[in-house]
Chains A and B, each alone.
Chain A
């Protein structure tokens, strides 16, 4: 009963629950030791408005239980931190989206390059092209293979010199991908000569034909810089 839960206790007014049987005299003045007004006996209704309020001084534990500014600060900081983190995450995510988009674009381009090169590779490695290139180099097929058996040095088969014309010259098997023929890059065409062959073609007509029928030297490709460690032999 002593602790009124820290509530500010104002002086009770005269109104009481209607069913109260308590007489007014149940509040003797002594119950309110108002020392500030010694001369006043029973409170007068007209003067009550101006009467200063009295308060119960909170106990220490009550003071301690009050919210402190630190708590508010923590909460506000927390909220701010969350908002900022959220913002950063969003920025990071959209950055990522743009990066993904650009990398996907890059991958698409690389896929296209890959497709171009593999198409060219498949075309150049077609039998028609290989045979034409080999024939242009003066190669002939030998249909009589001879084997040397390593275990006893025996020669199996009958050695016969290869004769030209084992396969009829011109390709009879069409390949519309090869027209215009992609058989051999024309070393005599200006602009496609590589520095190494220019001298040969220029100085010697005989070697010039050999150069012209050289196997399809790869189109000059931009140098690809070496990445990673240099290859080195493994020794034990």
Chain B
């Protein structure tokens, strides 16, 4: 009996143990299945049900001028959306506590009054597809409209915010800033040059939410950190840019011209302070401007510069030591060079003009310049042009920037060989001409042209700083001599009355270039230009003005007043002290 009891006890214990083990085994298997085998699937499933994710916007960076004035910025605009299938009457309790029922028609009228639509229009959108759960009522409204609509407390209205680009200064520097194509990618100007710098990175946050949508504490996970884009800082001075554009536009309208540009460069740094184009675009409203006028003429459209180019020829000849400021030339009305190519002066004169080199510049004698220029071989002249950077695009890298048009010297025909001495047969951009004068003003050292100072990151560091290494193009003496010769234009040339800036010495060169008619011949329209520096005793700023096809005036006089006004403004704005030494009185005739 004792043995039987023991056996029974054992059996029961064994059964119990087995049962327990079996149950535990089942649980273990299930546990492993859930926690390990199916873990990812289940996690994902539960995550979908519980979690919500929000995009955090990394906004596109600003574009500012050299003192931080915002030229382009990103703001949030709101799309107001509705759920048509939920559109019903709803109750609204006003401040006094009375509850009234608002019908969809009334609600539509209220919305329309704020958004500027008609109430029929809004009601039409709401009822267009009653089974739909989503429709846009109005897109891209500003904060005020958004708040007003939100305060209507309509239950079936929803909102989305989206970043939008805005340009507070309108067309001021619009030619340089450019614009975005699809709202995110720059497709013109600095928006394109610095697209990488400006572009922000959108972030993503996920969190688990409770029944009322509030995040469960500690469940927020930043999947990707949102990063705002950097700030592109331009070398442009927005006030001067506006002044230049305004002055240029006024003059172009006055003279009936077709287009024009102004380039203002700081001599000691190579920075562009203003690049005005007419016509130009207001990036807030690019549709108002024809597609071919939305760029920057100064960077993109090369033209034959004409006489302003003579400064380059003069500096080259002086640098090579083949002449000096007093070198005497007998400049005939028509000059035929040994190759048989010929040119003539713009004004008829029977006797040859007995001019010094300075006089050739002052009179802007084509024949004199050609005779002096041909002291250099074509190759030498081409090399100087290359060193002055008129054969390649500037360092700015502006979208679709032109590098000018000039065949290599060994492909020049006899006429091109001759005319390139005075700026015909070669095309340059306005920016390239300004750069030539910058080098002359800076003791012969040409500095890279700068439009963007760099990309300023959120932590204040500036990246993508452009190279500022200059190159000695001509000797300091050749540069100074050229400036002195250019000064004779302001003191005695035909435009001298329009070039006076009281208290300051000005060195400048007029230009009146025949424009190509597009068929390989010269037409009957002109590009008038004026490029110069001030103060001539210590050049600080270059102003280069180009006005194409003026009707009322067809020589440098069309551009001269613009030069005078803008140069005065630059000198005043930068507190440049007036000249103290009188101009050197270079003899121009003998």
**Across the interface, do A167 and B247 meet the contact criterion of CB distance under 8 Å?**
yes
- Distance of A125 Cα from B239 Cα, bound (Å): 10
Whole-angstrom CA separation of A173 from B250 in the bound complex: 10
Chain A residues, CB < 8 A from B69: 125
Question: Is B288 interfacial (CB-CB < 8 Å)?
Answer: yes
CB atoms of A126 and B168 under 8 A apart: yes
Q: Which of B242, B246, B285 contacts A168 (CB 8 A)?
A: B246
- The answer to the question of A164 belonging to the interface, with a C-beta cut-off of 8 Å to chain B, is no
Q: Are B170 and A174 in contact (CB under 8 A)?
A: yes
B502, A174: Cβ atoms under 8 Å? no
Considering only CB atoms, which chain B residue lies closest to A144 in the complex? B502
Choice from A94, A144, A174 contacting B282 with Cβ under 8 Å: A174
Q: In the complex, how many angstroms separate the beta carbon of A139 from the nearest chain B beta carbon?
A: 14
**Which A residues are in CB contact (< 8 Å) with B308?**
none
* Residues in chain A near residue B246, CB distance under 8 A: 131, 167-168, 171-173
Stretch at the interface among A33-41, A49-57, A68-76, A152-160: A152-160
Q: Does B172 contact A (CB under 8 A)?
A: yes
Q: Tell me which residues from 142 to 181 in chain A have a Cβ below 8 Å from any Cβ of chain B.
A: 143-147, 156-158, 160, 166-168, 171-178
Give the residues in chain A near B565, CB-CB below 8 Å.
143, 166
Q: Chain B residues near A160 (CB, 8 Å)?
A: 502
Query: What is the CA–CA distance of A168 and B170 in the complex, to the nearest angstrom?
Result: 18
Interface: B218 (CB within 8 A): yes
A residues less than 8 Å from B218 (CB atoms): 93
Is A128 a contact of B172 with CB atoms below 8 Å?
A: yes
Q: Which chain B residues lie closer than 8 Å to A158 at the CB level?
A: 502-503, 578
CB contacts (< 8 Å) of A167 on chain B: these are: 243, 246-247, 250
Nearest to B147 among chain A residues (CB) is A112
The CA of A151 and the CA of B249, in the complex, are separated in Å by 42
Q: Out of A15, A112, A143, which one reaches B568, CB within 8 Å?
A: A143
CB pair B578–A127 under 8 Å, yes or no, is no
Question: In the complex the two chains form, is B168's CB within 8 Å of A172's CB?
Answer: no
State how many angstroms separate the Cβ of B153 from the closest Cβ of chain A. 15
Min C-beta distance of B570 to chain A, whole Å: 10
Task: Tell whether, in the assembled complex, residue B75 and residue A115 are in contact, meaning their CB atoms are under 8 Å apart.
Answer: yes
A contact residues around B144 at 8 Å (CB): 116
Q: What class of interface size applies to chain A in its complex with B?
A: 35 or more
Q: How far is the CB of B116 from chain A (nearest CB, A)?
A: 13
Distance of A173 Cα from B167 Cα, bound (Å)? 13
B217 with A96: CB separation less than 8 A: yes
**Distance (whole angstroms) from the CB of A125 to the closest CB of chain B:** 7
Please report which residues of chain B, range 152-175, place their CB below 8 angstroms from some CB of chain A when the two chains form the complex.
166-172
- Interface status of A192 (Cβ within 8 A of chain B): no
Residues in A neighbouring B73, C-beta threshold 8 A: 122
Is A97 an interface position by the 8 A CB rule? yes
B347 CB to closest chain A CB (Å) equals: 31
Q: Is B514 an interface residue (CB 8 A)?
A: no
CA distance A98 to B216 in the complex (A): 9
Given the known A-B contacts A144-B568, A146-B503, are A127 and B288 also in contact in the complex, defined by CB atoms under 8 Å?
no
> B245–A131 contact, CB under 8 A?
no
B411 within 8 A of A: no
Q: Are B502 and A175 interface neighbours, CB within 8 A?
A: no
Contact check, B172 vs A115: say whether CB atoms are below 8 A apart. no
How would residues 246 to 270 of chain B score, 1 for a CB under 8 Å from any chain A CB and 0 otherwise? Answer: 1101100100000000000000000
| B239 contact set on A, CB distance < 8 A | 127
- Scan B281-320; emit 1 where CB is below 8 A from any A CB, else 0: 0101100100000000000000000000000000000000
Q: How far is the CA of A100 from the CA of B239 in the complex (A)?
A: 44
Contacts of A122 in B (CB 8 A): 70, 73, 168-169
From residue A136, how far is it (CB to closest CB) to chain B in Å?
A: 16
A175 is contacted by which of B75, B169, B241, B503 (Cβ under 8 Å)? B169
Q: In the bound complex, do residue A126 and residue B170 qualify as a contact, i.e. CB atoms below 8 Å apart?
A: yes
Asked whether, in the complex, the Cβ of B502 is within 8 Å of the Cβ of A157, the reply is: yes
Indicate whether A123 sits within 8 Å of B168 (C-beta atoms), given known contacts A115-B76, A158-B502: yes
Which residue of B70, B142, B217 contacts A97 across the interface (Cβ within 8 Å)?
B217
Q: How distant is the Cα of A127 from the Cα of B580 in the complex, in angstroms?
A: 33
B486-519: CB near A (< 8 Å → 1, else 0) gives 0000000000000001110000000000000000
A173 and B578 contacting across the interface, CB-CB below 8 Å: no
Residue contacts A-B, CB under 8 angstroms, 12 given? A115-B75, A156-B577, A160-B502, A167-B250, A171-B246, A172-B249, A174-B170, A175-B171, A175-B284, A177-B166, A177-B170, A177-B284
Closest 5 CB pairs of A and B: A175-B170, A122-B168, A127-B242, A168-B250, A157-B503
Extra 9 A-B pairs, beta carbons < 8 Å, given A160-B502, A168-B246: A112-B76, A116-B142, A126-B168, A126-B172, A143-B569, A147-B577, A157-B578, A172-B250, A173-B245
